A and B are shown apart, each in its own frame.
Chain A
Amino acid sequence: SQKIEQNSEALNIQEGKTATLTCNYTNYSPAYLQWYRQDPGRGPVFLLLIRENEKEKRKERLKVTFDTTLKQSLFHITASQPADSATYLCALAPDYGGSQGNLIFGKGTKLSVKP
């Protein structure tokens, strides 16, 4: 069956450390993978998109990697801050080249950064 899994439901780290979140998928061949941030009571907000031919992408303190052989994406937040505390979701389109309106989401990892 097709699955997208985020390995940790929750991750607690100390301020200043690097947070690493994992997203694994099976039986998909996505053209790209996305990461979103969701704060309590709010809708998800887009952070980064990485394409199948990109190994790594960076945006400020965020870094995403994409290994299509391992079927895995890693999401890193360096020099983490308490304001980074949120739930982070990974998402992919189930069909290669499929509709942009059709995404499959992981269940999310709740990150807590302690001062």
Chain B
Amino acid sequence: NAGVTQTPKFQVLKTGQSMTLQCAQDMNHEYMSWYRQDPGMGLRLIHYSVGAGITDQGEVPNGYNVSRSTTEDFPLRLLSAAPSQTSVYFCASVKAGGWEQYFGPGTRLTVT
């Protein structure tokens, strides 16, 4: 199993550009989440999904969209990038009935 994969590893955007951060897992996990990690702020939940077709907002959802059309994939879309979205983004998944979160390697995003 590859586990949780994220692409790209690094990305630089200009203010106002849009892009999609990709996340995929091959463990057939039901739950998937997106976090951002900023110095001094820790990990903060952006959006999460309890299954295909079901998503919900976390602590910091503004400026981000998600969808979950398949169990495997959970892309995060930045609609109009802002410098405040400069961060490291982590995707995570949890199996049904479990509690351990499996994290991807992260995407480092810089918005100029």
What string of 1s and 0s marks CB contacts (under 8 Å) between A13-53 and chain B? 00000000000000000001010100001111110010000
B70-105: which have CB < 8 Å to A?
90, 92, 94, 98-105
A102 at interface, CB cutoff 8 A: yes
How many A-B contacts are there with CB distance less than 8 Å?
A: 65
CB pair B106–A106 under 8 Å, yes or no, is no
CB pair B101–A49 under 8 Å, yes or no, is no
Interface class of chain A by DSSP = loop
Interface class of chain B by DSSP = strand
| Pick from A41, A101, A104: contact of B31, CB under 8 Å | A101
Q: A34-B100, A89-B42, A100-B98 are in contact. Are A43 and B90 (CB under 8 A)?
A: yes
B interface size (C-beta, 8 A): 29
CB distance from A41 to the nearest CB of B (A): 8
Q: Which residues of B contact A32 (CB under 8 A)?
A: 99
What string of 1s and 0s marks CB contacts (under 8 Å) between B39-64 and chain A? 01111110011100000101100000
B32 at interface, CB cutoff 8 A: yes
CB distance from B60 to the nearest CB of A (A): 12
Instruction: Please report A residues at the B interface, Cβ cutoff 8 Å.
Output: 32, 34, 36, 41-46, 49, 89, 91, 99-108
Instruction: Please report B residues at the A interface, Cβ cutoff 8 Å.
Output: 4, 31-33, 35, 40-45, 48-50, 56, 58-59, 90, 92, 94, 98-106
